Amino acid sequence: MNPVIALVGRPNVGKSTLFNRLTRSRDALVADFPGLTRDRKYGNGMLGGKTYTVIDTGGISGDEDGIDAVMAEQSLQAIDEADIVLFMVDGRTGLHMADEAIANHLRVNQKKTWLIVNKTDGLEEHSAMADFWQLGIGEPRSIAASHGRNVTALIDQVLEPFPERDEDLPADTGTKGIRIGVIGRPNVGKSTLVNRLLGEERVVVFDEGGTTRDAIEIPFERRGEPYVLVDTAGVRRRKNVSEVAEKFSIIKTLEAIKECHVAVMVLDARTGLVEQDLHLLDYVLTSGRALVLAVNKWDGLESEAKDRMRTEIKRRLGFADYAELHFISALHGTAVGDLYPSIERAFQSAHSRWSTNRLTNILRDAVEQHQPPMIHGRRIKLRMAHQGGTNPPIIVVHGNQTGSLPEAYKRFLTNTFRKVLKVRGTPMRFEFRSGK
Ligand code: GDP
Ligand code: GDP
């Protein structure tokens, strides 16, 4: 699991500036994720050969009285989820009452905490730092987040106790088969589904040993096909559904997404879609993972309610329409077996390879069918296409003036490729390049 760094501090000290620098570094592996809550933002990054996850806590406001008000709930949660806390203060405004209130909280917290004095660009460093010693958090470290000054050196030092690891792709642990991650917000029925998936007839669950990392891997076999269930949320550890689930954790959900080949996202037909569902989906999309959607608790619903749910999903999940959609009852096992063919298709699609010849022919046919527009009296030319990667598949289209391609035309092209190549269940990425 990536080390998790939480950025904490009052508003305006430069947390988002540092967050952006840490997640958009040239070699960042994954772009930042939009926040699951409005107040917390999660991102993955890489500096100096090590990967990490950063949480930006939007607003510990300094105006309230009392520690509870100052340390907003969401910051406490971020600290809770983190391995390392970077407590940021502002070198220009100097020590602030709210800084002391936050420091008081951090001192009783057991987390490894670094005191970061930001905005020291153009300041006389020694005097800028002097005040902050009295916070009792240890040696203040000077950085300028907006200039990147001292940032890499700081992160190097902060991450020193953590081993170097390549985190981009699902771990190659030697276990065979498609790695399935079941995700979703609390109470949608993940645990019921997991037990159903494993409890089905003809499923052979192997010994749970061989766990190498934080994620528990449960290899199993269904109709002779090997699969691995990736359980980062402790879903499987519950003996029955009345047992309380481990606290819902975004970090663990991110981990599950990263560790699996195909994410099965569970939605609840009883409650309909809520904001948290959409944010979770956003994470899956940003990560480029293959996806199968399962609308659970479909049992016993009035047909009117079913129609409403279908319509709502079509309308609001348009951005994830590449994913195959299933209406299931994990409780009764209805349609649960149908998830497997979708999982297979999503996996195959995500790992497909196509020749440059084939892709270029599809491009030519598309252009013939529907020409790109003229820009400044010259028609946009699209010449060839090749594959730039898999999982998710990347198609690189070469031509000229591709920077001026209208969004609608790009959509036409991407839909055409998707249809002709029969890609289902995985996002695809398209890059447009211009040559001479
Ligand atoms: P947040 O509220 O803690 O997330 O703070 P922001 O990242 O939004 O930064 C607040 C302001 O401080 C912005 O105007 C930034 O441009 C500015 N800022 C951030 N880092 C630096 C820095 O290293 N030096 C200077 N001079 N300004 C900075
Ligand atoms: P998790 O928190 O996502 O793991 O959700 P659980 O598996 O613990 O399920 C939450 C509740 O929903 C439990 O009371 C389950 O019995 C119930 N539940 C799960 N699946 C279904 C279903 O298909 N139909 C109905 N009616 N209830 C379900």
Look at the chain and report how many structural domains it folds into: 3
Is 167 contained in some domain? no
Q: Are 274 and 257 within one domain?
A: yes
Same-domain pairing of 360 and 341: no
Ligand 1 pocket residue status of 86, Cβ below 6 Å: no
Pair (324, 362) in one structural domain: no
Which of 12, 13, 16, 17 maximizes ligand 1 atoms within 8 Å of its Cβ, making it the mutation to test the pocket? 17
**Residue 165 marked as a ligand binder:** no
Packed helices 250-259 and 275-287: angle between N→C axes, nearest 10 degrees: 40
Indicate whether residue 196 lines ligand 2 (CB < 6 A): no
Ligand nearest, relative to CA of residue 189: 2
Whether 333 lines ligand 2, by a CB cut-off of 6 Å, is no
Same domain, 271 and 385: no
282 and 422 in a single domain? The answer is no
Per the annotation, does 148 bind a ligand? no
Both 58 and 207 in a single domain? no
119 lines ligand 1 (CB under 6 A): yes
Boundary residue ending a domain (332, 351, 370): 351
Q: Could you tell me which of 161, 423, 101, 176 has the C-alpha nearest to residue 290?
A: 423
Beta-sheet pairing, 381-389 with 394-400: antiparallel
Structural domain contains residue 400: yes
Residues 360 and 345 in one domain: no
pLDDT value of position 206? 61
Count of Cβ atoms closer than 10 Å to residue 377 Cβ: 5
How far away, in angstroms, is 145 Cα from ligand 1 center?
Answer: 7
Q: Of all protein residues, whose CA lies closest to atom 27 belonging to ligand 2? A: 297
| 287 occurs within a structural domain | yes
Q: Rounded to the nearest whole angstrom, what is the distance from the C-alpha of residue 27 to the centroid of ligand 1?
A: 22
Binding residue per annotation — 186? yes
**Residue 288 is assigned to a structural domain of this protein:** yes
Does residue 384 share a domain with residue 251?
no
CATH number (domain holding residue 23): 3.40.50.300
Residues of the domain holding 426: 356-434
> Does 187 sit in the ligand 2 pocket, CB within 6 Å?
yes
User: Do residues 204 and 290 share a domain?
Assistant: yes
Ligand nearest to C-alpha 11: 1
Residue 70 half-sphere exposure, CB side, CA atoms within 13 Å? Answer: 19
Q: Please, are residues 85 and 109 in contact by the beta-carbon 8 Å criterion?
A: yes
Flag whether 109 is in a domain.
yes
Pocket of ligand 1 contains residue 15 by CB under 6 Å: yes
Cβ 192 under 6 angstroms from ligand 2: yes
Consecutive sets of 10 residues in the chain, 436 residues long: mean pLDDT of each? 88 89 58 45 78 77 49 73 93 91 84 94 88 93 94 93 65 74 91 84 54 65 88 67 65 85 95 87 84 94 89 83 92 94 96 95 96 91 93 92 91 93 92 82
Same domain, 321 and 409: no
Are 16 and 122 within one domain?
yes
ipTM, two decimals: 0.74
CB 88 within 8 A of CB 15: yes
- Same domain for 301 and 183: yes
Of 160, 195, 225, the position where a domain reaches its end is 160
Amino acid 170: pLDDT: 55
pLDDT reported for residue 241: 57
Give the Å distance between the CA of 64 and the centre of ligand 1: 22
| CATH code for position 395 | 3.30.300.20
The domain boundary residue, chosen from 160, 193, 222: 160
- Token look-up 């030319």 returns 381
